[in-house]
Amino acid sequence: MAYDPNNIFAKILRGEADAHVVLDEEHCLGFMDLMPQSSGHTLIIPREPAESIFDLSAETLAVLVATTRRVARAVKAAFEPAGMMILQLNGADAGQTVFHIHFHVIPRYPGEGLTLHARSVAAPAQLREHAARIRAELDSAQTTD
């Protein structure tokens, strides 16, 4: 399937759709998932247009993975979850619903299951507050790797 430049993440990258951004860098953008599966669910995407991990350049993939870990560290510091899922889906049959490659950072809390994937939109005020907490951790981070 050819990359669709009108997918929602491409629109967010072009500034045509809003997002609660936590990180805005040369190669990657990080923002809150609109329909979080847990408190602090964050997405990291490359600026390079690629549908899945199979279409992305090796150079950008390396930056994307390192950036994902950096954002995940900030989410960990901000939300102090017991565990953290970092995942990435390729193809509709794997559950991918937005066809611009992205990593999910999903904090896990004791005794709390996940809400359903891409199902309930969170309150904007909550997403704004969560993004601010993650941005604050990224700003004060001691490491850049």
Is 130 a residue of the active site? Answer: no
Tell me if 35 contacts ligand 5GP by CB under 6 A: yes
Pull the structure tokens for residue 63. 């930056």
CA torsion, ordered 112, 113, 118, 120, to nearest 10 deg? -50
Cβ distance to ligand 5GP smaller for residue 56 or 89: 89
Tell me if 126 contacts ligand 5GP by CB under 6 A: no
Tell me if 96 contacts ligand 5GP by CB under 6 A: yes
Tell me if 19 contacts ligand 5GP by CB under 6 A: yes
Tell me if 84 contacts ligand 5GP by CB under 6 A: no
DSSP string, 69-128: HHHHHHHHHHH--SEEEEE---SGGGT--SSS--EEEEEE-TT--PPPTT--PPPHHHHH
**Quick count: other Cβ atoms within 10 Å of Cβ 144?**
6
Tell me if 98 contacts ligand 5GP by CB under 6 A: yes
CB 62 to ligand 5GP: min, Å: 20
Contact pattern for ligand 5GP over residues 57 through 76, marking x by CB under 6 A: --------------------
Question: Is 30 in a helix, a strand, or coil?
Answer: strand
Beta-bridge partners for 43: 31, 104
Tell me if 86 contacts ligand 5GP by CB under 6 A: no
**Quick count: other Cβ atoms within 10 Å of Cβ 84?**
16
Specify the stretch interacting with ligand 5GP by CB under 6 A; choose among 25-33, 55-63, 72-80, 108-116. 25-33
CB 97 to ligand 5GP: min, Å: 3
Pull the structure tokens for residue 91. 């193809």
**Positions marked catalytic:** 102
